[in-house]
Chain A
Amino acid sequence: MVIKRPRLSRAGVERRNGWLLISPWLVGFIFLNFGSYIAAAVISFSDWDLRKGTFNNIGLRNFEHAFRDDLVGKSLINTLVYTGFHVPGIIILGFAVALLLNLKVKGLPVYRTMFYLPSITAGAGMAIIWLWMMSPEGMFNGFLSWFGIDGPRWFHNPSTALPALIFMSYWGIGGTMVLFLAGLQGVPDHLYDSAEVDGAGWFRKVRHITVPLMTPYVFLSVVINVIGSFQVFTQALMTTEGGPDNATLFIFLYIYRMGWENLRMGYASAIAWILFAVILFFTLIQFWGGRRWVYYEYTG
């Protein structure tokens, strides 16, 4: 007996093909995302400890513990301070550089490369170079000594370690700058021309044309950079490991310390959820606030 497959309609073929093509993502979503969220919840309610080998449901005790843990508070504050300096700095610097590059300068690709390069190697590569630059024998203190300043051991001093990490983070403007540059190049020339006819100077054109039209790009960059900034990890682990005296202990570092150094996975997972809640909170606030200042009207 020959089983004849019923012939699918055109829409049916397309539906089958569509689901077939996206099936890798769907499988990944079910196991790596959705399954992970559920597992993460279960783990955060447990006392899972790789060293003791325990895995019992202890309800909300991890969360209660976290709220009383001074280091959770400290790491939250450190992360907020880092974000508070890192994100505005990246946005302002990135915008300024993009504005200058948009003056139709000669050699634009060369400049763009110079500003983008540190972003490519952000993380372990940049961190180890800065470790050398900011070491006692490094270039940074050598430079300061020309002015008679005796530089500190930046990453070993509780009062300078966090500022040093913030300072080196400003070398990561690349992605933001390129996004802004793309946005600036999309601002139609005729708007500038008509403003010029009305006698507007460079500053007024920037203030009244460029900035409003760029607000969607600024908004996107702030959202992306805040999410990334709250998860600052590699640079700090490479240079300070959260020290000295926990001055650069960020939340992700604390999660790593609890989970993979102390092997208390349950507790680490609870702190990860707290970090998630913090990120979600700040993202929602931005979407709520964004309606007030992001300009979406011009579509041309």
Chain B
Amino acid sequence: MTTATSSVRQRNTRIVVVRRLVRAFAYLVLTVFGLAFILPFLLMVRTSLMTFGDLFADPPILWPWPLIWQNYVDMFNTGPYLHMLRNTVLIVFQNVLFETTSSVLVAYGFSRVRWEGRDKLFILVLATMMVPATVTLIPQYAGFAWAGMVNTFWPLMIPRLFGHPFYIFILRQYFLTLPKELDEAAEMDGAGLWTTMTRVILPLSKPAIATVGVFSFVNHWNDFTEPLVYLLTAENQTLALGLRWFIHNQGTEYTWMMAAATVFTGPMIIAFFFAQKQFIRGIQLTGLKG
């Protein structure tokens, strides 16, 4: 009897010890790998604040002092980067507005209004997500070239008026979680579709709309292929292309190059920090079975 309890106790202490070891191991691995994952950013900011000579210092300088903020001023003076920053802000701001609005309307039609064939048509929305953009890039270019819109912002903005299948999907998933009784109650008070949508459903859907807005912001800020294809002259280009321009023109000026990289990645990182919850929720909604 006594030996049995003591062996159980022994086994329990062993389990506790093993659990502690596993946890300690987990923290160690997560910290080491986690640091490796943000190392590129630390290195980027560090390099952007160095003098050019500091790059070659031996032994290497861990963190530069004083900080050379002048690098940022110099970087903007070496090329049309202010133009590019302005273009990026202009395009991204309008695109987020267009894309979020159109996606909300379409998702609403695919979730909170009942009509025949709705769910079959929605499969088509999902199917368009699977078709690689590579196929549509050339014909769309042909269309915009025919309309004389190459080297303008139009080809980057017009497609956003029609909603984005992924955002429509996320918003629809969310709209479907809200109870149907909400609409019925609003209808009893004499509210039509528009009033129900803008006064009842959309205010309740702020988290999902914010998710889509943040995704849209980061994706357009980061977009590379479309600007590359449509925007030909440096004054019309965006910051993402500016980085490529920089490599071609000042390929080894690493301090300025990293200053440019910081200006480019900074807004996306800040957006992520302010909207972490939205990001995570967006990805989680993708995993839900619809």
Interface string of B248-290 (1 = CB under 8 A from A): 0000001001101100110011001100100110011011000
Closest to B27 in A: A105
Q: A24-B105, A114-B34, A117-B41 are in contact. Are A234 and B110 (CB under 8 A)?
A: no
**Chain A min CB distance to B222 (Å):** 5
Query: Any chain A CB within 8 A of the CB of B94?
Result: no
Cα distance, A127 to B246, chains bound together (Å): 13
Query: Any chain B CB within 8 A of the CB of A202?
Result: yes
Q: What's the dominant secondary structure at chain A's contact region?
A: helix
Query: Any chain B CB within 8 A of the CB of A133?
Result: yes
Query: Any chain A CB within 8 A of the CB of B1?
Result: no
Beyond A43-B142, A183-B287, A265-B138, 11 additional contacts (C-beta under 8 Å) are: A11-B115, A24-B106, A24-B161, A32-B159, A35-B139, A103-B26, A109-B276, A124-B264, A128-B264, A251-B134, A272-B137
Cα distance, A100 to B143, chains bound together (Å): 49
Return the contact of B142 from the options A25, A39, A115, A260 (Cβ within 8 A).
Answer: A39
Closest to A101 in B: B30
**Chain B min CB distance to A251 (Å):** 8
CB atoms of B116 and A171 under 8 A apart: no
Q: Among A20, A21, A227, which residue has the most Cβ atoms of chain B within 10 A?
A: A21
Cα distance, A86 to B85, chains bound together (Å): 32
Cα distance, A14 to B118, chains bound together (Å): 11
Query: Any chain A CB within 8 A of the CB of B47?
Result: yes
Number of interface residues of A (CB under 8 A): 88
Q: A40-B138, A234-B224 are in contact. Are A276 and B47 (CB under 8 A)?
A: no
Query: Any chain A CB within 8 A of the CB of B193?
Result: yes
Query: Any chain B CB within 8 A of the CB of A87?
Result: no
Chain A contacts for B121, CB-based, 8 A: 22
CB atoms of B276 and A113 under 8 A apart: yes
Chain A contacts for B257, CB-based, 8 A: 128, 131-132
Query: Any chain A CB within 8 A of the CB of B60?
Result: yes
Query: Any chain B CB within 8 A of the CB of A36?
Result: yes
Closest to A136 in B: B252
CB atoms of B159 and A28 under 8 A apart: yes
Return the contact of B272 from the options A31, A100, A120 (Cβ within 8 A).
Answer: A120
Chain A contacts for B134, CB-based, 8 A: 231, 251-252, 255, 272, 275-276
Binding site for A on B (CB under 8 A): 22-23, 26-27, 29-30, 33-35, 37-38, 40-41, 43-44, 47, 55-56, 60, 102, 105-106, 108-110, 113-116, 118, 121, 124-125, 128, 130-143, 159, 161-163, 168, 193, 218, 222, 224-225, 228-229, 240-241, 243-244, 246-247, 254, 257-258, 260-261, 264-265, 268-269, 272-273, 276, 279-280, 283-284, 286-287
Q: A18-B114, A179-B287, A227-B130 are in contact. Are A112 and B280 (CB under 8 A)?
A: yes
A-B contact pairs, 9 of them (CB 8 A): A14-B113, A22-B121, A100-B29, A111-B30, A117-B37, A128-B261, A178-B279, A178-B280, A234-B225
CB atoms of A37 and B138 under 8 A apart: no
Return the contact of A28 from the options B163, B247, B264 (Cβ within 8 A).
Answer: B163
Cα distance, A124 to B84, chains bound together (Å): 14
Return the contact of A276 from the options B128, B131, B141 (Cβ within 8 A).
Answer: B131
Query: Any chain B CB within 8 A of the CB of A158?
Result: no
**Chain B min CB distance to A161 (Å):** 15
Q: Among A24, A33, A124, which residue has the most Cβ atoms of chain B within 10 A?
A: A124
Please list the 8 inter-chain residue pairs (A to B) with the smallest Cβ-Cβ separation, ordered nearest first: A28-B162, A21-B109, A39-B139, A18-B115, A114-B34, A22-B109, A182-B284, A125-B265
Using a CB-CB cutoff of 8 Å, which residues 244-296 of chain A contact chain B? 251-252, 255-256, 259-260, 265, 268-269, 272-273, 275-276, 279, 283
Return the contact of A117 from the options B38, B137, B138, B287 (Cβ within 8 A).
Answer: B38
Cα distance, A264 to B140, chains bound together (Å): 15
**Chain B min CB distance to A84 (Å):** 18
Using a CB-CB cutoff of 8 Å, which residues 114-150 of chain A contact chain B? 114-118, 120-133, 135, 137, 139, 142
Chain A contacts for B29, CB-based, 8 A: 100
CB atoms of B133 and A231 under 8 A apart: yes
Cα distance, A63 to B7, chains bound together (Å): 74
Query: Any chain B CB within 8 A of the CB of A192?
Result: no
CB atoms of A105 and B139 under 8 A apart: no
**Chain A min CB distance to B83 (Å):** 17
